[in-house]
């Protein structure tokens, strides 16, 4: 994506110069453009808002006793994945390196300054990419909520950012083999969504099912949170996709429009599917549909026309809709359907990008514009990502499991992950809470008679 966008930005710059006779004939050496910098600054902040978006989307869909744990799984990625990215991840992804991985030239953010990378400061490009790395890791949480212990989870997402996300980002955006092959991935359909969807499925299998899975209905405790999360994701995704143009010109506007339209079409189709199946359109379904529409358009945002974006959103809703129905009839406890939403949605988007891509709208043409081979290239990217992500995620989880148990025991799951992992509750009224004062710790606590009389009840 980066190379093709930079080249299209250069073409744009050349075209602008032809229109302005005062400008020099030769393209200038790379220099920082204020408008581009301003837009990427805003985009970076928008993408950072997607992490709380995922947190509330997932947090609303779990049971009340696990709400904080689910939110924390997402927020904690700001910490461990952000630091991992700054220390090594960025360098492994965007250092020159070879076909498969970068190098250590930017390790510890050395040599990352305010010099130009494209038309924006290098340090800003690093920050923009960091916001992607963080949100990608949080997506995995949806498959292992309600049961994975917090420590092993943190270890997993930090290592995953370095050993899985960074290499695949290098393949596609850092000048690696998939970008040389000509795979189109504008903002991260393979790097972010297929990658996270596959890793999530592997994690669900390795960590194991929740206590009472398949015996007991586990219902969302706050559907308004899920809708709020979907809204934050929709908002933040404009930075994710339109920001991936890395300029503030027509490419960003195109990606903005396609990103707006695809979820609209996906939501409409989802409501139709819901209506025809159960005669009711569900709110959880609407929140899911918006996310699926966004996932589907992500690889294509800067390569297709707005009309194609509508078609992609509409078509893309269908496989994910039926994947969710299928998953809930299996023994796979991918609790919040990361596979159906991000994995299946990402695959659909990557393939449809090869169908709808149009050279007139940037990039190369796809099947509908006379280049059937692009679909095959897209499929190569999909298969390579699935294979690498699945194998490496499995290895990392098994390595962590040798040191520490991945899943909380049944008793801890029964009490809830909020109390057992964090010593906090999301919804407590404070009744019966006794203040523990440090200096009185030696004295025995006097229990109020009203609270527990002799021979108390329960």
Partner 1 sequence: MKLIVAIIRPEKLNDVLEGLYRAEVRGLTVSRVLGHGGETDAVETYRGTTVKMELHEKVRLEIGVSNPFVEVTVRAILESACTGEVGDGKIFVVPVESVYRIRTKEKDEAAVTPALN
- Where do contacts with partner 1 occur on this chain (CB under 8 A)? 212, 215-216, 411, 414-415, 419, 423-425, 428, 430-436, 445, 447, 451-452, 456-458
* Least distance from partner 1 to the Cβ atom of residue 425, Å: 7
Distance between CA atoms of residues 88 and 84, nearest Å: 6
Q: Is 219 exposed, middle or buried (0-12, 13-18, 19+ CB in 10 A)?
A: exposed
Q: What's the token pair of residue 62?
A: 């779990």
Instruction: Kindly tell me which of 347 and 426 has the beta carbon lying closer to partner 1.
Output: 426
Judged by CB, which is closer to partner 1: 25, or 433?
A: 433
Q: How far apart are CA 277 and CA 316, in angstroms?
A: 18
| SS3 label, residue 112 | coil
Name which of 38 and 451 has its Cβ closer to partner 1.
451
From the CB of 436, what's the least distance to partner 1, in Å? Answer: 4
Nearest CA to 140 out of 76, 231, 86, 232 is that of: 76
48 closest CA partner among 151, 133, 175:
133
The C-alpha atoms of residue 308 and residue 306 are separated, in whole angstroms, by 5
Residue 211 or residue 327: which is nearer to partner 1 going by CB? 211
Residue 69 or 308: the one with the smaller Cβ distance to partner 1 is 69
CB 42 → partner 1: shortest distance, Å?
32
- Which C-beta is closer to partner 1: that of 38 or that of 410? 410
* Interior angle at CA 8, CA 350 and CA 171, nearest 5: 45
DSSP state of 221: S
Minimum distance of partner 1 from residue 332's CB (angstroms) = 22
How many angstroms separate the CA atoms of 294 and 270, rounded?
13
Find the shortest distance in angstroms from Cβ 429 to partner 1. Answer: 9
d(CA 236, CA 50): 5
Q: For tokens 């947190």, name the residue.
A: 55
In the complex with partner 1, the residue whose CB is nearer, 136 or 335, is 335
Distance CA 450, CA 46 (A): 52
H/E element, 120: strand 120-121
Distance in Å, CB of 458 to partner 1, minimum: 4
At closest approach, how far in Å is the CB of 401 from partner 1?
Answer: 25
Nearer of residues 372 and 451 to partner 1, judged by Cβ: 451
The DSSP call for residue 447 is P
The CB-of-71 to partner 1 minimum distance in angstroms stands at 15
Q: How many CA atoms lie within 13 A of 415 on its CB side?
A: 12
Length of the chain: 458
Q: Residue 212 CB, nearest distance to partner 1 (Å)?
A: 7
For partner 1, give the closer residue by CB, 20 or 454.
Answer: 454
Q: Which two tokens stand for residue 107?
A: 């390790």
Which CB, 31 or 438, lies closer to partner 1?
Answer: 438
- 224/414 with CB nearer partner 1: 414
* CB of residue 333 to partner 1, shortest distance in Å: 17
**Residues 6+ positions from 240 with CB-CB distance below 8 Å:** 43, 46, 47, 50, 132, 135, 187, 188, 259, 298
* 116: three-class secondary structure by DSSP: strand
What's the closest the beta carbon of residue 456 comes to partner 1, in angstroms?
6
The strand pairing partners of 148, in sequence order, are 407
Residue 212, SS3? coil
User: Residue 65 and residue 63: Cα distance in Å, rounded?
Assistant: 6
């Amino acid at each position: 994506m980066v190379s093709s966008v930079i080249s299209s930005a250069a073409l744009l710059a050349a075209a602008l110069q032809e229109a302005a006779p005062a400008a020099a004939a030769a393209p200038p050496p790379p220099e920082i453009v204020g408008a581009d910098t301003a837009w990427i600054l805003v985009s970076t902040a928008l993408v950072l808002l997607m992490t709380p978006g995922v947190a509330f989307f997932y947090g609303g869909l779990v049971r009340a006793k696990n709400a904080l744990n689910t939110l924390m799984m997402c927020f904690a990625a700001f910490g461990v994945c952000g630091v991992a990215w700054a220390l090594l991840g960025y360098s492994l992804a965007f250092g020159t390196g070879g076909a498969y991985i970068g190098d250590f030239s930017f390790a510890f953010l050395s040599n990352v300054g305010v010099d130009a990378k494209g038309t924006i400061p290098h340090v800003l490009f690093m920050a923009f990419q960091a916001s992607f790395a963080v949100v990608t890791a949080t997506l995995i949480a949806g498959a292992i909520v309600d049961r994975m212990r917090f420590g092993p989870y943190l270890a997993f997402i930090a290592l995953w950012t370095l050993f899985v996300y960074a290499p695949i980002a290098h393949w596609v955006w850092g000048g690696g083999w998939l970008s040389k092959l000509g795979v189109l991935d504008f903002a991260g359909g393979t790097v972010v969504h297929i990658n996270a969807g596959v890793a999530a499925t592997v994690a669900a299998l390795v960590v194991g099912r929740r206590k009472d899975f398949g015996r007991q209905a586990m219902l969302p405790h706050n559907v308004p949170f899920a809708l709020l999360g979907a809204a934050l994701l929709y908002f933040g995704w404009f930075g994710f996709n339109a920001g991936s143009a890395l300029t503030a010109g027509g490419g960003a506007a195109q990606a903005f429009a396609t990103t707006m339209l695809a979820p609209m079409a996906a939501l409409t189709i989802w409501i139709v599917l819901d209506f025809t199946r159960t005669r009711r359109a569900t709110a959880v379904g609407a929140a899911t549909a918006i996310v699926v529409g966004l996932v589907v358009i992500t690889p294509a945002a800067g390569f297709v026309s707005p009309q194609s974006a509508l078609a992609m959103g509409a078509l893309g809703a269908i496989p994910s809709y039926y994947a969710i129905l299928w998953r809930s009839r299996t023994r796979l406890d991918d609790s919040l359907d990361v596979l159906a939403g991000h994995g299946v949605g990402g695959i659909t988007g990557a393939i449809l990008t090869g169908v709808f891509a149009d050279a007139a709208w940037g990039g190369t043409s796809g099947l509908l514009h006379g280049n059937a081979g692009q679909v095959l290239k897209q499929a190569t990217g999909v298969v390579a990502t699935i294979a690498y992500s699945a194998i490496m995620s499995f290895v990392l989880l098994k390595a962590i499991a040798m040191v520490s148990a991945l899943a909380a025991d049944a008793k801890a799951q029964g009490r809830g992950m909020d109390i057992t992992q964090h010593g906090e509750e999301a919804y407590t009224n404070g009744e019966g809470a006794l203040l523990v004062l440090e200096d009185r710790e030696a004295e025995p606590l006097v229990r109020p008679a009203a609270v527990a009389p002799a021979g108390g009840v329960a």
